[in-house]
Structure 1
């Protein structure tokens, strides 16, 4: 393997994370800057270029030492052209020629993909996926995202929408309305915001004593973490909410795994910080709904890389430029 390095960029709505990695995916340096979304996001790409060039100067490195740059971004990505559109949390409403600008500004080859796909690549390569060729990654944050790696390659689909795990329908017709326009998407039940929605609805129907009910009734800010913490402390109402969340997650994981039979089904994102308390209940539902062969061959796991998954996966995009 080459001694040359990779640069990974994980572009988010509040923070841009950067890392310099070995060709084997080991992080050697990392830093971050705030995302400036003012003026229709026009500062973002120049800020990325300036930050990369500044840090290469700082570390006394030159572009000949690098294979290339890979970046994960929100929005709809054209991987061939290196453009992004519709990343509304970045104020990118029109097409952004990211590849063209960054290659011109840094002198390095550049590759780009969706941020959830990049996190999936990271976990598949250096995290819970153990460098497996068949890995499904689901990230539970404000929404539910995902990435599917099959035969060692990211699955993109005909128009780049493969891996939209959050929009798997788990409550047809009568479920919560999703931002995508459908009803009953997984995102509305297993994301951080979905869990709060479930908790609020469960509280309305519950007549017993419960710290969760008291918090909702008192107008306190309820979070997914609060729901899980109260469930761990034995709050009956909170536990019924967690059971429901884990049903949806196990049901979705089983259906995806019945279709793809991955080696690993990896669950990450902020909600996964609940750890085995979440995982054990998800596994119970997975076992119930999985096809017998899948039940014994696909392992449901928690993600291992945390906030580094995105930069590691993004950097792996640039390995295609290696000699």
Structure 2
């Protein structure tokens, strides 16, 4: 029989991405559907099942063609039980049972994990992690999360919270975080955190600055606007970026000192700033790591972008 396929599902708050891959991780088909979070997210799993079934018919495939389906999802995941709870951006307030429901409907073995863990698996397998057994991906988005592969094993912790680097304290009396404590890394270095830092620093800044002008005019800004202004030489924006990179270097330096991964990858939307971000974080990372880690843990930008989730999800289903 021909080599079997893998299916990866990357469930997000606005879209759900799907891919069919070879066992070697090469993507053969991709598609996506809108995520319908109405009615407490009760349509999400039925929509996923329907889309899988439709595409199996479209590609003239059956359950027998697949090793399995893997899925990444927001929320607190129990991989062994195949359950998810607390995925608030999906409107899932109660326990969900995707493994039970999707396996029953498709007849294909199913595995599930947290979305950042899954993205880390994708980068480790087919991206900037170069198949190393020690890779940590830090995703800088609306919040900050990390997926940790240590000695070839994906770390979960006793309650699924391993890798919550966004809640490492970097400023003990800093901004209040949604988690209920102050000074978390994501309050100053996530996409929303960067905007918060920018607004506060702009109020105290008296010099000439395009970014300050935008804020003074009452217009909205984003982390991308801050980095674009910095790259254009805006003095205020450069000060903001330096502060953000200081906090990132501190947080990632501590992560490096604890885990000593071969590759510490920066991904997520904020990482689109590229080498302009990376070189500045590297400076502070070097300051906050001790020599053995500084010499053996390499900071890199993640490379898979939007496909990290489906690739990593599919890796969960590998035989």
- The TM-score bracket by the shorter chain reads over 0.9
Q: Distance in 2 between matches of 1:307 and 1:82?
A: 24
State the secondary structure of the residue aligned to 2:33: strand
Counterpart for residue 30 of structure 1: 30
Distance (whole Å) between structure 2 residues aligned to residue 294 and residue 151 of structure 1: 16
User: CA-to-partner distance for each residue in 1:138-176, whole Å, 9 max, x for gaps?
Assistant: 00111111100001111001111001111111111x111
Give me the TM-score of the superposition, normalised by structure 2: 0.98
Counterparts of 2:184 and 2:306 in 1: how far apart (Å)?
Answer: 25
Superposed CA deviations along residues 234-254 of structure 1, whole A, max 9, x for unmatched, are 100000000011111111111
Aligned-partner SS, 2:187: helix
Between the aligned partners of 1:109 and 1:95, the Cα distance in structure 2 is 20
List aligned pairs for 1:147-158, cutoff 5 A.
Answer: 147-158=147-158
Other-structure match for 2:21:
21
Structure 1 position 101, deviation (Å):
0.4
1:274 aligns to 2:273 (yes or no): yes
Q: Deviations over 1:116-144 (max 9, x none)?
A: 11011111111110011001100011111
**Residue equivalent to 1:213:** 212
SS for the counterpart of 2:316 is helix
Separation of aligned partners in 2, 1:55 and 1:119: 23
What CA distance in whole angstroms lies between the structure 1 residues aligned with 2:86 and 2:255? 27
Give 2:313's aligned residue.
314
Partner of 2:68: 68
**What residue in structure 2 maps to residue 42 of structure 1?**
42
Distance 2:108 2:157 in 1: 28
Q: 1:232 Cα deviation (Å)?
A: 0.5
Where do 1:153-168 residues align within 5 Å?
A: 153-168=153-168
**Could you tell me which residue of structure 1 aligns to residue 289 of structure 2?**
290
Q: Work out the CA distance in 1 between the residues paired with 2:88 and 2:288.
A: 36
Q: Note the C-alpha offset of 1:26.
A: 1.1
Give the alignment of 1:48-59 within 5 angstroms. 48-59=48-59
3-state SS in 2 of match to 1:31? strand
Gaps of 5+ in 1: none
1:99-178 map, 5 Å: 99-172=99-172, 174-178=173-177
| Matches of 2:22 and 2:112, distance apart in 1 | 19
| Residue aligning to 1:77 | 77
Q: CA deviation digits over 1:3-54, x for unaligned, max 9?
A: 2110000000000000001111111111000000111111100000110111
CA shift, 1:80, in A, is 1.3
User: Which runs of at least 4 in structure 1 moved beyond 3 Å after TM superposition?
Assistant: none
Q: How does 1:162-311 map to 2 (within 5 A)?
A: 162-172=162-172, 174-311=173-310
Q: Tell me the matched-pair count.
A: 318
Taking structure 1 as the reference length, the TM-score comes to: 0.97
Distance apart, 1:97 and its partner CA: 1.1
In the aligned structure 1, how far is the partner of 2:93 from the partner of 2:315?
Answer: 27
